[in-house]
Structure 1
Amino acid sequence: MENNSLDVNVELNMEISQAGELTHTKIFEPGMLTRVGNSTYLRFNEKLDNDEQAKILLKIADNGEIHLKRVAESTNLASLLYFTNQDHNSGHIETEYGIMPLQTFTRDSQVEILDRPLSGKINIDYDLIYDNNIVGNYKFRLIFKA
């Protein structure tokens, strides 16, 4: 698997609208792009407070489905979300108190990966749903370059 891995630079911009408040997050980190079969994996870290970090793994399947896994060991939080354009998907967040089921509704998703030069864009607009209630609207904009 490591033979198919390439170093990339990742820029992630997130816009989150929750309870009438809008938040923006920007991440600039080195990452690793790996291709296994027909799937592409992108790994990078998100810096948290107190020199801690969350590990991010993004899987892009050949059918266009996107899986987003985020693990922050220092805060005992882990999430796994799935995105399929114009569809609902089940996911979850793991806390020290147990597993909480979540759903996503992907309003729009676009993936573009170029081989020469290696670069790509992953855009996901989605609603995060808990107990049949929308708890937030998200705009996920990721760009990577070798």
Structure 2
Amino acid sequence: MTQNQQAHIPVNIHLTTVIEHEGEKETYELLLPGEFYEKNGTCFLKYDEIQEEGTVQTIVKFSENSTVILRSGAVNMRLPFNKKEQMNGSYTSPHGTLAMITQTKQLSHSHTYKESQLEGTFQLDYHLLMQGTPVGNYTLKITFKSM
């Protein structure tokens, strides 16, 4: 396999989301299986979340200066992030589609292969607006390790 075309590697994912809004702080944590792969210099993490509405497949696509979080299934969401500019996204549920805007504060990621073990981290800090209204400051941290 070439550097640009790697296998899908099964990984254990630890996902932490912290939301701060109007002085309140909420933390959510998930441990779930997923997969990691690289294609043409872009990294991908793929996992499924089971929610009340049903299963949501999530793909986190990240490169040096930008990221896109794509969710499909019970909900559909496209949330792009760029270090240099605010980005427009959308969230679609059975109740309709909402316009979202992300303002990226910090974006970092790294991964290494040690003795055929993959380990990596991904962190994203951003401010989110929904329909033009601020809904909070989000910190998303993902650590992943091959199974």
Q: Under TM normalisation by the shorter chain, which class is it?
A: 0.7 to 0.9
CA deviations 1:22-78 (Å, max 9, x no partner) are 21110101111122222111101223248x4321110013x43111012342xxx21
The Cα shift of 1:19 comes to: 4.1
How does the TM-score come out when normalised to structure 2? 0.85
Q: Which structure 1 segments of 5+ residues have no match?
A: none
Residue 46 of structure 1, aligned match among 45, 49, 60 = 49
d(CA) in 1 for partners of 2:6, 2:107: 29
Residue 23 of structure 1, aligned match among 23, 26, 29 = 26
Residue 14 of structure 2, aligned match among 11, 15, 27 = 11
Contact 2:17/2:140 (8 A) holds in 1? yes
Contact 2:110/2:122 (8 A) holds in 1? yes
The Cα shift of 1:20 comes to: 3.6
d(CA) in 1 for partners of 2:25, 2:17: 10
The structure with more helix, counted as a fraction of residues: 1
Residue 92 of structure 2, aligned match among 94, 101, 107 = 94
d(CA) in 2 for partners of 1:19, 1:72: 30
Residue 105 of structure 1, aligned match among 103, 106, 114 = 103
How does the TM-score come out when normalised to structure 1? 0.85
Are the structure 2 counterparts of residues 97 and 69 from structure 1 closer, same or farther at C-alpha, using a change threshold of 3 Å?
same
Identity rate, percent? 21
Q: Which structure 2 segments of 5+ residues have no match?
A: none
**Number of equivalences:** 140
CA-based RMSD: 2.0
d(CA) in 2 for partners of 1:49, 1:130: 22
d(CA) in 2 for partners of 1:138, 1:3: 31
Asked if 1:67 is matched to 2:65, the reply is no
